Amino acid sequence: MLMGEYTHSMDAKGRVSLPADFRAALGDSFVITKGLDNCLFVYGPEEWQRLSEKLAKLPISKAEVRSFVRFFFAGARETECDKQGRFLVPANLRSYAKLDKEAVLIGVSNRVEIWSRAEWERYSDAVCPAVTEIAETLTELGI
């Protein structure tokens, strides 16, 4: 299970360190892609395969399915860490997530999310005050 929050500097080439516990959980190579809320999603090979199979079963006759699948797969890249535990975030993904000098990596159960520090702080400031109400809604859904 992936969990925790880490802030790392991004170098001029767009490389960022992946925390050791995330490396252990994701494996030697992993997939990075555009996520929701202007962050990036990182999946290990098994989770990426499961997600890909689920998306492949959706009806491509629906425009919103085609749009989401295009969005999700067009930005996807398989990558791996170098000997220092860093990986390259491709320029198009850095641009999408507004990444520059600092990246926040968070473990979210089956994936890692990569946020620009500024975007993560904005998101956290907006969501944290409402988390009790969100929890109540989830309780109503049986979670």
What are the tens digits of pLDDT across the range 96-123? 999 999 999 999 999 999 999 999 999 9
Confidence band, pLDDT 50/70/90 cuts, at residue 129: confident
In the predicted model, what is the mean pLDDT of residues 53-66?
97
Phi then psi dihedrals of residue 25, to 5 deg: -75, -35
With 90 as the cut, is the pLDDT of residue 86 above it? yes
Residue 100 host element (H or E):
none
> In this prediction, what percent of the chain has a pLDDT beyond 90?
87
pTM, to two decimals: 0.93
Confidence band, pLDDT 50/70/90 cuts, at residue 130: confident
In the predicted model, what is the mean pLDDT of residues 21-48?
97
The pLDDT value recorded for residue 90 is 97
Candidates 8, 27, 3; CA nearest to 117 is 8
The pLDDT value recorded for residue 71 is 95
Phi then psi dihedrals of residue 118, to 5 deg: -65, -45
Q: State the average pLDDT for the chain.
A: 94
